[in-house]
Chain A
Amino acid sequence: MADLSPVASWTTDDVLHLGRRAGFGLSPAEAAALAAQPPAAAVAAWVDGTAASTAAFDAVWADRADPVWLPAVAASASVAGSVGVPAVNAPHRYAVDGADAWRNDLGRAQASWAFRMQYHPWAFGERLALLWHNLFATGGTKVGNAALMLGQIQTFRAAGLARFDDLLVAVSKDPAMAIWLDSVLNNARGANVPNENYAREVMELYSLGADNGYSQADITQLALALSGWGFVVDATQRVANPASPNQLTASAGTFRLQDGTALPDGTYLWNSLGTPATAARNMRVTGSRALITFLGRSFDVSTAPAGMVPGEDAVRSIVSSRAANCASFLASRLLRHFVTGGFTAGDVADLAARIEALGFDLRAVLKELLASAYFFDPAHRHALVEGPVSWAVRAARQLGMDLATADAQAPAKGFPAWALVATPTFEAAGQKLLDPAGPNGWREDRAWLNSNTVRFRTKLAAAVALGETFTQGGVAVPIFPSSVDLWFPAAPADPSAVFDGLAALLQPGPIPAAVRDGWLAALWPAGTFGWTAADRNKARELAFLVLCSPAGQLY
């Protein structure tokens, strides 16, 4: 049985657990401060993101978050009006969205999100986005547009605490999703056979689970209901590559039924950005086929209930018609992400009951779960294997510099060069951010670990802990700027104090005493400790070992 009643009091260790699972880690000092507040109110503020100002983050984000220089782009010799784009040899914003969408750089987009995870004051918002990114797993390679992928992540931040049916509708209207699972190509006009891709996965993967309350006939009926769902691009969302202006990219899209009706002037079809369109192609179901029976209820999807678009009420009905199935499905996902992989059917039933009772209000559900005795049960501490992106971000957050300190560094800002490590290592470590291989996402927990992914975690750990550098403009810059003196504001007295300090920062699972003693004996043969520069380097090595050890994969 999962005791979902709120805890009346908590300890610093409890708060550290919350920080790891519902954010990307807290320092011992941050945790101690939070532990002085009543748990329920503190968790609510944590979920809402009301506790911290974002002004400093926003200022950095606006123009200097990415320390890796951007190369020049030469103007096309054959395209009239093209203009070369100069190199950016200084810290700058992540140039992947908005007016920079033409760069369409998935690696930079991955880096930008990792940076937000590391530094955004509302850590829970980024954790939430990561949760929903895994549930509504959308692959950037097929979508082919980094800006649309980031737009979907923004949808998760904005709607990720809404009612689940609202979130489901928002995702169903999302441009990246519409490309990913072919909604934009679902044409049921006349006698056409609809494309079932999204209709199947929205139930199997996103709301109910395989074989959990729906039939193949329901899939076909929902596919009819959602026929013609797509998006258009207006003039302000259409971005040209200045160096080759006939290369056009959508920086965003606006949901639109593809129903043959007239479009506003200056509107472009999602797959034809060269010339404005006067009307959306007609792909909607009509006539008797628009009278669908879905999950035991009848809908006329040729017309829309007030405030909706045709078919939207069918999507919403997944949650209402199959409330128990949906609540169980959602409960399993939340437990596996936030609490433990070892939950029982009874635990799922308990949380599912609360989800139903709370009307699928995700904000209320998450506040209750994250303040519950079940969440804080000591048995659940370090009982999950952490995903590689979260693991790397948390290490960088604990060993890197805080935002203000990093921003004051010169010549480059002291921000991690996520752009250098995200593309080669996230995928090989088993989590290609913004580009999962399939709509089923990643399996989490122990599935994160195999010989290959461990190998690439060691590479990430080397970059974070050991101060690896890269060179640009003749200057060697750390990939993850850090200072051992910031890890240890007061000099540790002996090797054990170094270990304790690192364990407090990195918060691994329990490390066997024999392993710890072996490390310390190898690093510091008796009598050699003096907190010299060499000892500081050894502290980096020890941090590396903690990060790479089996206990270092748990959180």
Chain B
Amino acid sequence: MVTRRRFLQGVGAAGLALGLERCTARAGAVSAASGSGILVVVDLDGGNDWLNALPPLSGANRNAYDAARPGLGVPALSLVDLGGGVGLHPDFTGMADLWTAGRVAFIPGIGMDNPNLSHFVSADMWGQGAAVPDGSGWLGRFADRAFAPADVLRGISVTSDLPVMLRGRERSFVSISSASGFVYPASLRGNRLGAPWEPQLLEDGFAQAVSSRAVDVAALLGPDGQGGYDAGAAAGKLFLDAQNGFGTDGTLPARTPRVPYPGDAAYPVRRLDGGNLSGSLSAQLKLVARMLASGVVAQVYFTRIGGWDTHANQAVDHPNLLRTLGGTLGAFYQDLATIPATDGTMQDKVMVLAWSEFGRRVKENQGGTDHGTAGLSLCLGNAVHGGFAGFGYPDLGRLDGNGNMLHTTDFRSLYATLLERWLGLGPAETDAVLGRAYPRLGFL
């Protein structure tokens, strides 16, 4: 067995910058059952300054880091040594334990060619995940191949929007932002309205309207062919279809996690400047756990935590975000162990992928960091071969003309690995979804 430490030592003084990635095979690891893996995506929206989450601990990279980060740099003495000249921020709650247990793979330096430093362009590219982007998302295209069009609950965003990542060419996942009331319309079924309203009549009428295809859309909407009616009908149809199979009467069974999440009374998480941290990600992952416990058939879930655009006040905001992220992922991972699944628990069935559209500028401004390039992704789960994955930690002595890191791993390699080794697509299908054969990573 190649241990993580042996691998890291083998890479040598230059750290991971020169090394081909390799991860730790580990006793007790779950193999990725073909086609059965569930993926929970966590979008770190805004551009995570991962250089402060996993700062260089020693060597030339540390010297460059110290020079660029006189105010915001995390002192080496406070870091947890991950080996290979890389440390872990002490506020990245719970990650040290998960690392030691071999449950987390970090992919530093992940990115794309010709980054333009725009949140929106970069997030869009990450969402589309294609050699030649066409407006559809990589998980949506996975769904195109894996599921029947009417099988709408196979992918769920628990945000109110439908991210491009989940949009296919031929079908779409659904957005469900709360666990109750996903029926038509909830207020009509509750006590707020009594007689004389007739819920069933309204529901049937709505169903009739959104299901109607007895119209010539092009004729209705003119020569530009903008199918607004179709968009409305499709969205309404998804809404109706999603009721079927979503709990009883559109409401999931209540569930109280046995594991406290950040923001719970039993797990107060204080900000460095006082006050409580946001519980938004906790709420989303609790909802995902509730869906998993309820037997919802989704294979893909999408969540989002914002606030990572730390142009200013980073010394306070970024550690707070790391506390929230680490604490919430740790709680979710533990919570999964309490949810039974076929042959074990959901902890064996679920993989978390956290990603951000870019990393941030190496050199700090006055109190923050501006937009950068190469980012960090992490995968968490029992199937993960823990360690560093990808093709190396960027060399901070070799930056681009704007002072940004050069990426070492193409983000589509991460997607290829997940599609083939976790979500169950064949190699050729995986390459077809992404539009090219990207090298697979070793964490799965």
Tell whether A and B belong to one assembly. Answer: yes
Residues of A at the B interface (CB closer than 8 Å) are 181-182, 185, 187-188, 192-197, 200, 204-205, 210-211, 216, 340-342, 377-385, 427-430, 437-438, 440, 445-446, 449-456, 458-459, 461-463, 466, 468-469, 509-512, 514-515, 518-519, 522-523, 534, 537, 541, 544-545, 548-554
Most chain B CB within 10 A, of A196, A210, A429, A458, is at A458
**A534 vs B196: C-alpha distance in the bound complex, in angstroms?**
8
| Stretch in contact with the other chain, from B1-9, B91-99, B226-234, B374-382 | B226-234
Contact (A544, B363) CB under 8 Å given A459-B186, A537-B196: no
**A194 vs B197: C-alpha distance in the bound complex, in angstroms?**
60
Q: Are A430 and B161 in contact (CB under 8 A)?
A: yes
Minimum C-beta distance from B231 to chain A (A): 4
Q: Are A554 and B367 in contact (CB under 8 A)?
A: no
Minimum C-beta distance from B391 to chain A (A): 25
In the complex, B366 has a CB within 8 A of chain A: yes
Minimum C-beta distance from B212 to chain A (A): 5
A sample of 24 inter-chain contacts (CB < 8 A) reads A192-B365, A194-B366, A195-B312, A205-B120, A340-B224, A341-B226, A342-B224, A377-B222, A379-B223, A383-B221, A385-B228, A452-B174, A452-B175, A452-B176, A509-B221, A518-B208, A522-B204, A523-B205, A545-B206, A548-B236, A550-B210, A550-B230, A550-B233, A554-B229
| Stretch in contact with the other chain, from B33-41, B75-83, B111-119, B322-330 | B111-119
Residues of B at the A interface (CB closer than 8 Å) are 45, 116-121, 152, 157, 160-162, 172, 174-178, 181-182, 184-188, 192-193, 196-198, 201-202, 204-206, 208-210, 212, 214-215, 220-236, 238-239, 242, 306, 309, 311-313, 363-368, 370-371, 402
Q: Are B209 and A216 in contact (CB under 8 A)?
A: no
Q: Are A378 and B370 in contact (CB under 8 A)?
A: no
**A430 vs B371: C-alpha distance in the bound complex, in angstroms?**
27
On chain A, the residues within 8 Å of B188 by CB distance are 462, 466
Among A187, A385, A548, A552, contact of B231 (Cβ-Cβ < 8 Å)? A385
On chain A, the residues within 8 Å of B45 by CB distance are 437-438
Name the residue of chain A whose CB is nearest to the CB of B166. Answer: A450
On chain B, the residues within 8 Å of A449 by CB distance are 231-232, 234-235
On chain A, the residues within 8 Å of B206 by CB distance are 458, 545, 548-549
Q: Are B313 and A185 in contact (CB under 8 A)?
A: yes
Q: Are B202 and A193 in contact (CB under 8 A)?
A: no
Q: Are B221 and A382 in contact (CB under 8 A)?
A: yes
A-B CB proximity, top 7 nearest: A379-B222, A550-B232, A342-B224, A452-B175, A458-B185, A549-B209, A449-B235
Minimum C-beta distance from A280 to chain B (A): 15
**A9 vs B236: C-alpha distance in the bound complex, in angstroms?**
38
Q: Are B118 and A428 in contact (CB under 8 A)?
A: no
Q: Are A197 and B309 in contact (CB under 8 A)?
A: yes
Name the residue of chain A whose CB is nearest to the CB of B235. Answer: A449
On chain B, the residues within 8 Å of A340 by CB distance are 224, 226
Name the residue of chain A whose CB is nearest to the CB of B306. Answer: A437
**A188 vs B160: C-alpha distance in the bound complex, in angstroms?**
39
Minimum C-beta distance from A325 to chain B (A): 15
**A340 vs B221: C-alpha distance in the bound complex, in angstroms?**
11
Q: Are B193 and A383 in contact (CB under 8 A)?
A: no
**A466 vs B195: C-alpha distance in the bound complex, in angstroms?**
11
**A523 vs B204: C-alpha distance in the bound complex, in angstroms?**
11
Q: Are A182 and B118 in contact (CB under 8 A)?
A: no
On chain B, the residues within 8 Å of A459 by CB distance are 185-187
**A234 vs B364: C-alpha distance in the bound complex, in angstroms?**
33
On chain B, the residues within 8 Å of A382 by CB distance are 220-221, 228
Q: Are A551 and B229 in contact (CB under 8 A)?
A: yes
A450-B174, A515-B208 given; 13 more Cβ-contact pairs under 8 Å: A195-B367, A379-B222, A382-B221, A383-B228, A430-B161, A440-B119, A449-B231, A454-B236, A458-B184, A459-B185, A462-B188, A510-B215, A549-B209
Minimum C-beta distance from B214 to chain A (A): 5
On chain B, the residues within 8 Å of A430 by CB distance are 160-161
Contact (A384, B228) CB under 8 Å given A466-B197, A544-B202: yes
Name the residue of chain A whose CB is nearest to the CB of B241. Answer: A451
Q: Are A462 and B187 in contact (CB under 8 A)?
A: yes
Q: Are A451 and B215 in contact (CB under 8 A)?
A: no
**A381 vs B226: C-alpha distance in the bound complex, in angstroms?**
11
On chain B, the residues within 8 Å of A380 by CB distance are 222, 224
On chain B, the residues within 8 Å of A440 by CB distance are 119-120
Minimum C-beta distance from B71 to chain A (A): 10
**A379 vs B202: C-alpha distance in the bound complex, in angstroms?**
31
Among B119, B229, B367, B368, contact of A509 (Cβ-Cβ < 8 Å)? B229
On chain A, the residues within 8 Å of B364 by CB distance are 193
Name the residue of chain A whose CB is nearest to the CB of B124. Answer: A210
Among B176, B197, B215, B224, contact of A537 (Cβ-Cβ < 8 Å)? B197
Q: Are A512 and B212 in contact (CB under 8 A)?
A: yes
Minimum C-beta distance from A169 to chain B (A): 21
On chain B, the residues within 8 Å of A454 by CB distance are 232, 235-236, 238-239
Name the residue of chain A whose CB is nearest to the CB of B242. Answer: A451
Q: Are A185 and B312 in contact (CB under 8 A)?
A: yes
Q: Are A468 and B182 in contact (CB under 8 A)?
A: no
Among B119, B120, B220, B231, contact of A446 (Cβ-Cβ < 8 Å)? B231
On chain A, the residues within 8 Å of B210 by CB distance are 549-550
On chain A, the residues within 8 Å of B174 by CB distance are 450-452
Minimum C-beta distance from B81 to chain A (A): 30
Among B157, B225, B229, B368, contact of A342 (Cβ-Cβ < 8 Å)? B225
Q: Are B212 and A450 in contact (CB under 8 A)?
A: no
On chain B, the residues within 8 Å of A463 by CB distance are 187
Contact (A522, B205) CB under 8 Å given A449-B235, A459-B186, A553-B228: yes
On chain A, the residues within 8 Å of B225 by CB distance are 342
**A452 vs B183: C-alpha distance in the bound complex, in angstroms?**
11
Name the residue of chain A whose CB is nearest to the CB of B198. Answer: A541
Q: Are B197 and A195 in contact (CB under 8 A)?
A: no
Minimum C-beta distance from A250 to chain B (A): 18
On chain A, the residues within 8 Å of B221 by CB distance are 379, 382-383, 509
Q: Are A200 and B223 in contact (CB under 8 A)?
A: no
Q: Are B175 and A450 in contact (CB under 8 A)?
A: yes
Among B226, B233, B311, contact of A182 (Cβ-Cβ < 8 Å)? B311
Q: Are B235 and A450 in contact (CB under 8 A)?
A: yes
On chain B, the residues within 8 Å of A187 by CB distance are 365-367
Most chain A CB within 10 A, of B157, B223, B231, is at B231
Q: Are A451 and B184 in contact (CB under 8 A)?
A: no
Q: Are A451 and B231 in contact (CB under 8 A)?
A: no
Minimum C-beta distance from A471 to chain B (A): 10
On chain B, the residues within 8 Å of A196 by CB distance are 311, 365, 370-371
Among A182, A193, A451, A466, contact of B235 (Cβ-Cβ < 8 Å)? A451
On chain A, the residues within 8 Å of B196 by CB distance are 534, 537
Q: Are A453 and B160 in contact (CB under 8 A)?
A: yes
Minimum C-beta distance from B263 to chain A (A): 16
On chain B, the residues within 8 Å of A453 by CB distance are 160, 175, 235
**A335 vs B327: C-alpha distance in the bound complex, in angstroms?**
45
Name the residue of chain B whose CB is nearest to the CB of A450. Answer: B162
Name the residue of chain B whose CB is nearest to the CB of A449. Answer: B235
**A462 vs B187: C-alpha distance in the bound complex, in angstroms?**
7
Minimum C-beta distance from A180 to chain B (A): 11
**A512 vs B221: C-alpha distance in the bound complex, in angstroms?**
13
**A131 vs B367: C-alpha distance in the bound complex, in angstroms?**
33
On chain B, the residues within 8 Å of A537 by CB distance are 196-197
Contact (A451, B175) CB under 8 Å given A197-B312, A440-B120: yes
**A193 vs B175: C-alpha distance in the bound complex, in angstroms?**
41
On chain B, the residues within 8 Å of A511 by CB distance are 209
Name the residue of chain B whose CB is nearest to the CB of A551. Answer: B229
Q: Are B312 and A182 in contact (CB under 8 A)?
A: yes
Contact (A541, B202) CB under 8 Å given A383-B222, A450-B175, A518-B208: yes
**A440 vs B45: C-alpha distance in the bound complex, in angstroms?**
13
**A340 vs B228: C-alpha distance in the bound complex, in angstroms?**
11
On chain B, the residues within 8 Å of A438 by CB distance are 45, 119-120, 306
Minimum C-beta distance from B149 to chain A (A): 14
On chain A, the residues within 8 Å of B201 by CB distance are 522-523, 541
Minimum C-beta distance from B47 to chain A (A): 11
